[in-house]
Structure 1
Amino acid sequence: MSEPVRRAGVFALLCTLSLAVPLFGPEVAAVLAGIVLLGAVAVTDGPIFDLLAYPDDYEDGRLYGLIAFVLAGVALGLLATEASMPLAVFVGTVFLIGYGNFGERLVRTWTEDDVVHAAGFCLAATVAAAVGQAVTVELVGGSVGAALPLILFLAASGALLAALLRDVLLLYDDPIVMLSVGLLLWLLAELEPAIGTVEITVVLAITVALGYASYALETASIAGMLTGVLLGLLTIVLGGYGWFVVLISFFAIGGLSTKFRYDRKEDLGVAEENNGARGTGNVLGNAAVGLVAVLGYAASEADFLPVAPELFLFAFAGSVATAMSDTLSSEIGSIFETPRLITTLEPVEPGTDGGVTWQGEVAGITGATIVAAISYTLFPEVGVLGAAIVVAAGFIGMTVDSLLGATLEGALLGNQGVNFLATLSGALAAALLVVSAALVG
């Protein structure tokens, strides 16, 4: 067994100590955490140090990685004992990180395939998180059978977020990953989504299959694939299949448009990097606002927000329409050699931020119309006027994207920041137009 595997195994065993909270209470758990921390401070060399040390720990001769890991667990434990975080979420999160790492390290000894590494982490983390939650629910006197769908949903969501953060950050940033996952799962648990065991299994199968297809077709990187699967899972569970169809239409059509005349785009110097595979920044830049709208919809449905749920539906559709419009406008319009700067209408080089073509504008409006048509078909509350609003919101967001590209991109904003603000503009435009038209009571 290699040193990284042994280290991950020890960390996983330490994570099992989180069960001390539901078993013996916070006082005993605090004593155990204190003992581990004292040991981490006292051990500065020798075989135990070598077993537990991350590469950066050797510079100062301190087990800073272990100390930070334990402190992150203590912070979550305080939220579970002093705030309203469910104990099952706390234990499940700690198990998820520890045993997910162990599973990934084992897989790394068998293969060098990065996508298999990510799959190994997600599988081990999901199983560990589910087991940790189930054991905790049993210990506190709850019904595991009744809680199983939520347990599986939280376990899978946490595993995907952790795998994504580990890909974006560093393998040794587990304390940050643990805290981030714990807070997300706490939020999702509070929303109490209504979902059955069979349904969550089907949802996971659908989202994972489509996510892998995006990676296999080279329309998304590993991080982009993980982001898409997580977004898809949350969208279906918190919104519904209709919301997912709207979202996936953007990923599918947008991904294909990236491949459209790719050689021509390479010749012009405007092709997406990595053979067009979109990463986390690109996916989140286009879909983060939509995800917030889904969360807002779920919170409104649970009476946490005094806002009509339908308003978030239109904000979601407006943000996706913007993302679709902007993507098609850029990917199709970029193959023409006569773009003009949107602020002055002066001819500019292909690929210039803020440069537009009439062909790209037509493609963008077509993209918004596709999203509007899907929304009209799937959501009775949209109607003809609502569909027109979605098209208008997509056009507004696409225009905002071009304006920001011509003025602020490169100086104050990156491409992902421009995408985020554009989709936010589309979402707000849709919401304001809906309120003005009094479609939401």
Structure 2
Amino acid sequence: MFAVLCTLSLVVPLFGPRAGAAIAGVVLLGAYGITDGPLFELLAYPGDYEDARLYGLITFVLAGVALGLMATAAAMPVTVFVGTVLLVGYGNLGEQLVRLRTDHDIGRVAAFCLTATVAAVAGQAIAHSFVGAVVSEPPIVVFLATSGAFLAALLRDVLLRSDDPIVVLSVGLLLWLLAELEPTISAGEIVVALAITVALGYVSYALETASIAGMLTGILSGLLTIVLGGYGWFAVLISFFAIGGLSTKFRYDRKAELGVAEDNNGARGSGNVLGNAAVALVAVLGYAASDAGFLPREPELFLFAFAGSIATAMSDTLSSEIGSVFETPRLITTLEPVDPGTDGGVTWQGELAGVTGAAVVASLAFALFPEVGAVGAAIIVAAGIVGMTVDSLLGATLEGSLLGNQGVNFLATLSGALACALLVVSVAVPG
């Protein structure tokens, strides 16, 4: 029934926005008026029983109406609107069908992503055929569908089932942005990109370096980075995921004894991944937007911001994971000895590991991007050290009172990105 209701989004390209608004109005009135009985049981979210109202369905339809308004009154393509609604509705159907046979997490997520991708591709194709718009290249259609499917699966994993309206709006806005950037990719390239990111994501889950949410975040991040940046950008990003993930396993038993080990047996979740990689993703989007002419800045500036943020993430992760096994950390603000795991505590071993991590990122950037050069590589190392130091200072002063660990990671990577970009602007970097 949920999938059938989502299929009503096809009314907009078939009969126009007024017919779509009328259908939405009828569904909203019906949802508000149904308070019990078999239909209520069929459509109710878990939280609807307390108030005897189908508030979950009502908010979902309102989210669809909001996207519909963007597609009719704003510049959102109708194909994105239809593809998004069908993606969520049929992805949910595929997941529930698999859940009837198994509770295996990977099977459930795979079913959602596959069904959602097929539905989104079909929805875009059907909408194109009725609104007379220029048909996007098939690889772009698949890219939009898979990106939306991975984002929806991620949000559904970390949010409640009743938060589907948030999923619809988030996926719709992401696909709108990606469609506007008009990336260029061939059929072979999208197949290879999907194969690489999905395979590496599954390996990270199988090795217990990432949770389901962390795996999905990594896959989505990698896919966007490959398509909007390139394989060089992806190599820099994956170096952090691989080395950072494995570093959590370094002397894990010793970290557990000291009480500083990562939870969930070292598997990193979406919050940890996004805290370290969100700034890098924004830099990738900024690069694509600048390359497409939407931003006045040179695209290369976003490359350095990207590298600076990854250098920071690598430095901070290695300094924490390696330095935490030593029992003589000192608080960075006062140099007083503190217990292992104290926020803002540093060791010389950890600092050395952090500098090495920044150097690894800088070396990769130097090898992969001719525009970086020797001076640019030195700037990336410096930015990584700046970001690592900011992370320790925030940990010693604000973490626990005003900021959580993910907030500290985000601000640290932001400082590394800004430091790298500012240094590049102030220093002539030969290519």
Tell me the TM-score range normalised by the shorter chain: over 0.9
**Does 1:209 pair with 2:230?**
no
Q: Determine which of 113, 117, 131 is the counterpart of 2:122.
A: 131
Dislocated runs of 4+, deviation >6 Å: none
- Contact 1:434–1:440 (8 Å) recurs in 2: no
Are the counterparts in 2 of residues 310 and 440 from structure 1 also a CA contact under 8 Å?
A: no
Alignment match, 2:49: 58
Q: Tell me by how many angstroms 1:440 deviates.
A: 8.5
Cα deviations across residues 343-381 of structure 1 (Å, max 9, x unaligned)? 111111111111111111110000000000000000000
User: What's 1:258 paired with?
Assistant: 248
Aligned to 2:316: 326
Partner AA of 2:331 in structure 1: L
TM-score, structure 1 normalization: 0.96
> Where in structure 2 are there 5+ consecutive unaligned residues?
none
| Cross-structure match for 1:5 | none
Structure 1 counterpart of 2:160, which letter?
A: L
Aligned match of 2:290: 300
After superposition, the C-alpha distances for 1:23-65 in whole angstroms (9 at most, x for unaligned) are 1111111111111111112211111111111122121111111
Given that 2:373 and 2:430 are in contact with CA atoms closer than 8 Å, whether structure 1 keeps it comes out as no
Distance in 1 (CA, whole Å) between partners of 2:162 and 2:51 is 16
Name 1:247's counterpart in structure 2: 237
Tell me the amino acid that sits aligned with residue 311 of structure 1.
L
Distance in 1, Cα, partners of 2:359 & 2:189:
31
1:237 alignment partner AA: V
Supply the distance in 2 between the matched residues of 1:31 and 1:274 (Cα, whole angstroms).
48
* Counterpart AA for 1:279: G
For 1:43, give the aligned amino acid. I
Listed as ranges, the matches of 1:163-182 within 5 Å are 163-182=153-172
Are the aligned partners of 1:211 and 1:229 in contact in 2 as well (CA < 8 Å)? yes
Contact in 1 for aligned 2:311/2:416 (Cα 8 Å): yes
> Shift of the alpha carbon at 1:439?
2.9
2:91 matched to 1:96? no
2:399 equivalent to 1:412: no
Q: Give the conservation status (yes or no) of the 8 Å contact 1:338–1:347.
A: yes
CA contact (8 A) 1:246 1:375 kept: yes
Q: Aligned residues: percent identity?
A: 77
* Local SS of the residue matching 1:172: helix
Displacement of 1:428 in angstroms is 0.3
**Structure 1: stretches of 5+ with no match in the other structure:** 1-9
Offset at 1:142? Answer: 4.4
Match of 1:367 in 2: 357
Structure 2 counterpart of 1:26, from 14, 17, 24: 17
Following the alignment from structure 1 to structure 2, what is the Cα–Cα distance between the partners of residues 256 and 56?
40
Deviations 1:86-134 (A, max 9, x none): 0000000000010011111111101011121111111111111111011
Structure 1 match to 2:211? 221
How far, CA to CA, are the matches of 2:90 and 2:355 in structure 1?
Answer: 47
In the comparison of the two structures, how many residue pairs are matched? 431
What is the aligned counterpart of 1:197 among 187, 196, 202?
A: 187
1:288 matched residue in structure 2: 278
- 2:413 equivalent among 423, 432, 436: 423
Q: Which amino acid aligns with 2:243?
A: I
Q: How much has 1:143 moved relative to structure 2?
A: 5.7
TM-score where L is the length of structure 2: 0.98
Whether the 8 Å contact between 2:2 and 2:89 is mirrored in structure 1 is yes
The equivalent of 2:332 in structure 1 is: 342
* 1:311 and 1:440 in contact (8 A); partners too: no
> RMSD value over aligned CA atoms?
1.1
Q: What amino acid sits opposite 2:300 in the alignment? A: E
SS in 2 for 1:259: coil
**Matches of 2:41 and 2:412, distance apart in 1:** 49
Q: CA deviation at 1:205?
A: 0.8
Q: Are residues 1:185 and 2:175 paired?
A: yes
* Residue 188 (structure 1) shift: 0.6
1:15 partner amino acid: C
- 1:377-416 → structure 2 map (5 Å cutoff): 377-416=367-406
1:6 match: none
Which whole-Å CA distance do the structure 2 matches of 1:160 and 1:192 have between them?
A: 19
Please say if residues 40 and 63 of structure 1, whose CA atoms lie closer than 8 Å, have aligned partners that are also in contact: yes
